[in-house]
Structure 1
Amino acid sequence: MPIPIHDPNHAPGGALKRLPLLKAAVAFIAAVCLCLCGLLFLQLEQSRRHDVESARIASANLTRAMAQQAQDTFLQADLVLASLADWIQDDGFGPSTRPRLHQIFARRVQSLEQLHGLFLFDKNGHWVVTSFERLHRGPGVADRDYFKFHQQNASLIAHVGPAVPSRQNGEWIIPVSRRLNDPKGNFQGVLLAGIKMSYFDQFFKSFNIDDQGEMALALSDGTLLARRPFDEAQIGRPLADEYVYEHQHASMGAGDTDLRPSSDGIVRLHGHRHLQAYPLVVTAAMSEQAILAGWYDRAFQSSLIVALVVLGVCLFGWVFVRQVRNSERIEADLRKAQEALELIATHDSLTGLANRRLFERALDIEFGRGARQRSSLSLIMLDIDFFKRYNDTYGHVAGDHCLAEVAKVLKACCHRKADLAVRYGGEEFAVLLPDTNLHGAMALAEQIRRSVIDKHITHSASPSGYLTVSLGCYAFVPSSLDSTEVFIQRTDAALYQAKHSGRNCVAALSREGAFDALERSDR
């Protein structure tokens, strides 16, 4: 009587045999779904960054146009004040000249649409001449900031002060003023040009920004002069608490910030630019909702498509698992396919470098080629210093990121196609260098060491405070009497000597393997 394949007392025993394959199938389906989701995430993140970068460019162009217009506006007013100041210095502003001054003031205001009016005040702040038909008879302007500024400062250059309501008719204006002196250089009065705040409001409205966007003109210290949307309560308020003034030095010409909440809770991208000729800054802010409106639509469509694909993969997997349960032949075929995939898996999934299997295969090939052509073969082995402490301090996720960063350095330093960068195991890496002598290997090793330092990866558990690596080099011309094991052992011995010498260095072992022939670069 033949021995039964299955235990007669436990009929479902076949399911136990298929259980590992079923788990592998489920894991594979889950991995495919995760990969699809990961690719979706990467695609959406790249698309989002593109949209944000496009918004940065648009913000830079917007602030540039705003700054140019603002500078032209103030420059025109300043030129008017300069010409009037020269005329007044020559002819004075006595009773006989005031009618003519009034006519000149009126013509200047008519020629510049941004001007609310021109005003002349004596040294006591009393009204002398204006561009309006009737001279204001109310209190003077001795209490105004711009008047006090010129009383206390001998400078004759134009001064831009905080926005104020005009005492002529109550309209909000931005004062641009100049000091007037008598022939002896004493304070004689103030010449003022009032720029309409409504002019900037109309100018801001000419730009197409979203309803939640903001545009503003302010003094370099953050004092608000004009704003869209207009809010009278905000005028004159210091904006020092705003992000752009916290993180951008006033001497900078232009800049922008990341998307972050504003004081009203709306997430915006802020851009600013300082005027070259005046202590003013223009700012523009676009809301995240407007910047990413198209991205949200694409994200929804892509997510829907991926969700349908994932659903299809899951349904296919369910059918596949049922087929596995019903057919041992399919199970065997899938195992063979899995083994075939394992044979062709030659790269490390975390770092993207070649794995040990590919390294051993390439080493055998290069050994044979080097023996035939009598060419030098070099090997660099490197180890991340205090990596266990790094994992203990920052966690394994950060450790994986650290390994990936070191792998990027290796890829960037290996320029030749024949060079092979390998993740040898754990935190240990190797670089196989055909047709390279010891000097060339040490030069590349030193380049790798410095490149890792230049990454400035913080490692508080390391004596240097940053992530470093130790490297060992060995080179020789292989022959039929040499073995790959000895080649690796000698390179590993050089690595050990580098670590024994204090880490963060490059060490090389002589052809004879004597440590007294050690060469080490300066740390």
Structure 2
Amino acid sequence: MPIPIPDPHHAPEGALKRLPLLKAAVLFIAAVCLCLCGLLYLQLEQSRRHDLALAEVSSSNLTRAMAQQAEDTFMKADLVLTSLVDWIEAEGFDVAQTPRLQKTFARRVQALHQLHGIFLFDKRGQWVVTSFENLPRGPGVADREYFRFHQQNVSSQAHIGPAIRSRENGEWIIPVSRRVNDQDGNFQGVLLAGIKMSYFDQFFKSFSLDNNGTMFLALADGTLLARRPFVESQIGTSLAQGEIFQTLLPSATSGNAMIGSVVDGIVRLYGYRQLDAYPVVVAAASSEDAIFKDWYDTAIRSSVIVALVVLGVGLFGWMFIHQVRAGERIEADLREAQKTLELIATHDSLTGLANRRLFERALEIEFGRGARRSSPLSLIMLDIDYFKRYNDAYGHVAGDHCLAEVARALKSCCHRNADLAVRYGGEEFAVLLPDTDVHGALTIAEQIRRSVMDKNIIHSGSPTGYVTVSLGCYSFVPTGHDSTEMLIKRADAALYQAKHSGRNRSAVLSMEGGVEALMRSDR
């Protein structure tokens, strides 16, 4: 008995039959449960985003305040150094100038409470004068990073170096230094202002953070200058491998990100910002657990309530479904058997595409519709290039896999319900396109050709090195005098022309039977 082919434009007789009770019950219960779960999810997700947005605003404001404070601190020290360097380069720093320089240094330190001290070193790294009354004795500072930097660089810009312990009293300081030159521009020494790390520590403590929150100040290369909570062993370590320095800062000089710390591994919401005037980065972070603490509590309570409701609905539904399952099972089995038989009769088992039987019946339906509506009907015939070589080289199992992959590419390009993708035979396929003119057919053909190429299926027997297809298109408006054989022959003729012209291309046959368009897009 022939199996009827559904018309995609007209509902077949009996399509609007009674929905089985078991399905209706399952759908209703599932819909209720899904709605409850969906509403819970939407409510929780909205709440979570709201909490995260508030945390991001707070984090951005905090880092902005930190950046402003840090920039002001370094700028004040830099201005002091700039004025003193200009004076020293003009007047020199011989013994006669030393008392005056010492008093000036001391006054500047007293005026800026964030300064630990001001120090002048000669070109050998020895102390010349400091803001302290007694001049330190010792090996000097020729081994310090900031001294070597100015010794090797002629730049007159301020240099911020890694945090160090002062050789004056052992206090942790952040060195801000400038090069001192003679009148000919030769290196004569270094003028350094040491900023107390305790100054930043006290500033950090003025902000309220959770127990796992953190704040830090680092150089642009990732060297840690100051951190809350303060851990002495971490000062000077590198954060360069962290996501902030590896990924975020190269893209934007400020922002927010939820990431794990390279120091302790805790996931936090970081707000970060690089200073405009100095190579320094500030960041503040609240732990993920602290940000979402209230949200977690709400989520647990709401989830328990919804789970109980869903459980109640499910138990009621199960009892109801149990009463009708026996009768519905028989009906469902019959429908499943019918669907299986229809699929076997009308579809290719390897590719899942329609077979020639379904194709021929669909052609008859579309011919009649096209004639009634005077609408164009297009057919694409396509063939896998050098498929025999592929089977000979890789075997029939690989050939079947290749056919299945081409079928997937074919189906991915058939977007409308009315479009029908067919395995016509062997390695030949067809695509029936109702209400489609020649330009639309050629566009679809090119999409299919590129989709197959994008699969990158290796084919040593093909000139391209990959599996490709050739496609022939024909489009016309059916009349009562046309035959399906004519449509297939003309699409085949276009396919022959595409293969004859070199394969891996699409060809269109005109109404007169000649080749109207030949198109190929090389990869």
Q: If the TM-score is normalised by the length of the shorter chain, which range does it land in? A: 0.5 to 0.7
Contact 2:243/2:259, CA 8 A, preserved across alignment: no
Name the counterpart of 1:507.
506
For the residues of structure 1 that align with 2:448 and 2:44, how far apart are their CA atoms? 30
Name the counterpart of 1:519.
518
**1:18-38 deviations in whole A, cap 9, x for unaligned?**
xxx999799869976996798
CA change 1:115–1:321 in 2 (3 A) is: same
Q: CA deviation at 1:161?
A: 0.8
For the residues of structure 1 that align with 2:312 and 2:442, how far apart are their CA atoms? 53
Name the counterpart of 2:10.
none
Q: CA deviation at 1:462?
A: 8.5
Amino acid at match of 1:184: D
For the residues of structure 1 that align with 2:309 and 2:488, how far apart are their CA atoms? 47
For the residues of structure 1 that align with 2:376 and 2:120, how far apart are their CA atoms? 89
Is 1:94 the counterpart of 2:94 in the alignment? yes
Contact 1:124/1:189, CA 8 A, preserved across alignment: yes
For the residues of structure 2 that align with 1:88 and 1:23, how far apart are their CA atoms? 95
Secondary structure class of the residue paired with 1:77? helix
Contact 2:420/2:433, CA 8 A, preserved across alignment: no
Written as runs of structure 1 = structure 2, the 5 A alignment for 1:245-394 is 245-247=245-247, 253-254=253-254, 259-260=259-260, 262-270=262-270, 272-324=272-324, 371=371, 374-378=374-378
Q: CA deviation at 1:163?
A: 0.2
For the residues of structure 2 that align with 1:255 and 1:471, how far apart are their CA atoms? 52
Contact 2:22/2:325, CA 8 A, preserved across alignment: no
Is 1:185 the counterpart of 2:195 in the alignment? no
Q: CA deviation at 1:218?
A: 1.6
- Provide the alpha-carbon RMSD of the alignment: 5.7
Amino acid at match of 1:475: S
For the residues of structure 1 that align with 2:40 and 2:485, how far apart are their CA atoms? 44
For the residues of structure 2 that align with 1:363 and 1:467, how far apart are their CA atoms? 29
Amino acid at match of 2:70: A
For structure 1, which segment, 459-468 or 301-310, has the greater mean C-alpha deviation from structure 2 after superposition?
A: 459-468
Is 1:154 the counterpart of 2:154 in the alignment? yes
For the residues of structure 1 that align with 2:485 and 2:58, how far apart are their CA atoms? 60
Name the counterpart of 1:242.
242
Contact 1:270/1:286, CA 8 A, preserved across alignment: yes
Contact 1:378/1:441, CA 8 A, preserved across alignment: yes
Secondary structure class of the residue paired with 1:310? helix
Q: Percent identity?
A: 55
Secondary structure class of the residue paired with 1:176? strand
Amino acid at match of 1:520: M
For the residues of structure 1 that align with 2:90 and 2:219, how far apart are their CA atoms? 32
CA change 1:151–1:265 in 2 (3 A) is: closer
Q: CA deviation at 1:201?
A: 2.6
For the residues of structure 2 that align with 1:306 and 1:202, how far apart are their CA atoms? 48
Q: CA deviation at 1:277?
A: 3.5
Q: CA deviation at 1:324?
A: 1.5
Name the counterpart of 2:214.
214
Q: CA deviation at 1:169?
A: 3.3
**1:285-333 deviations in whole A, cap 9, x for unaligned?**
443323443553454345334423431332122221343269x6x9999
Secondary structure class of the residue paired with 2:509? coil
Is 1:197 the counterpart of 2:203 in the alignment? no
Paired residues, number: 462
CA change 1:260–1:153 in 2 (3 A) is: closer
Name the counterpart of 1:124.
124
CA change 1:109–1:308 in 2 (3 A) is: same
**1:176-208 deviations in whole A, cap 9, x for unaligned?**
101111223332221111122233334434555
CA change 1:22–1:373 in 2 (3 A) is: closer
For the residues of structure 2 that align with 1:496 and 1:57, how far apart are their CA atoms? 65
Secondary structure class of the residue paired with 1:74? helix
Secondary structure class of the residue paired with 1:180? strand
Name the counterpart of 1:16.
none
CA change 1:378–1:149 in 2 (3 A) is: same
For the residues of structure 1 that align with 2:210 and 2:484, how far apart are their CA atoms? 67
For structure 1, which segment, 79-88 or 65-74, has the greater mean C-alpha deviation from structure 2 after superposition?
A: 65-74
Written as runs of structure 1 = structure 2, the 5 A alignment for 1:329-478 is 371=371, 374-378=374-378, 434=435, 436-443=436-443, 446=446, 473-478=473-478
CA change 1:423–1:187 in 2 (3 A) is: farther
**1:440-481 deviations in whole A, cap 9, x for unaligned?**
44346546876999xxx8868689999999877543223345
Q: CA deviation at 1:284?
A: 3.9
Secondary structure class of the residue paired with 1:201? helix
CA change 1:24–1:222 in 2 (3 A) is: same
Unaligned runs of 5+ in 1: 1-20, 339-354, 394-398, 412-418
Name the counterpart of 2:172.
172
Q: CA deviation at 1:91?
A: 1.7
Contact 1:259/1:288, CA 8 A, preserved across alignment: no
* TM-score between both structures, scaled by the size of structure 1: 0.65
Name the counterpart of 2:77.
77
Q: CA deviation at 1:78?
A: 1.8
For the residues of structure 2 that align with 1:520 and 1:85, how far apart are their CA atoms? 74
Amino acid at match of 2:79: L
Amino acid at match of 2:175: P
For the residues of structure 2 that align with 1:301 and 1:438, how far apart are their CA atoms? 61
Unaligned runs of 5+ in 2: 1-19, 337-352, 388-393, 399-403, 424-428
For the residues of structure 2 that align with 1:142 and 1:203, how far apart are their CA atoms? 32
Q: CA deviation at 1:116?
A: 2.7
For the residues of structure 2 that align with 1:189 and 1:262, how far apart are their CA atoms? 38
For the residues of structure 1 that align with 2:263 and 2:90, how far apart are their CA atoms? 51
Contact 2:159/2:176, CA 8 A, preserved across alignment: yes
For the residues of structure 2 that align with 1:257 and 1:306, how far apart are their CA atoms? 32
Amino acid at match of 1:118: I
CA change 1:384–1:113 in 2 (3 A) is: farther
Contact 2:490/2:509, CA 8 A, preserved across alignment: no
Amino acid at match of 1:182: D
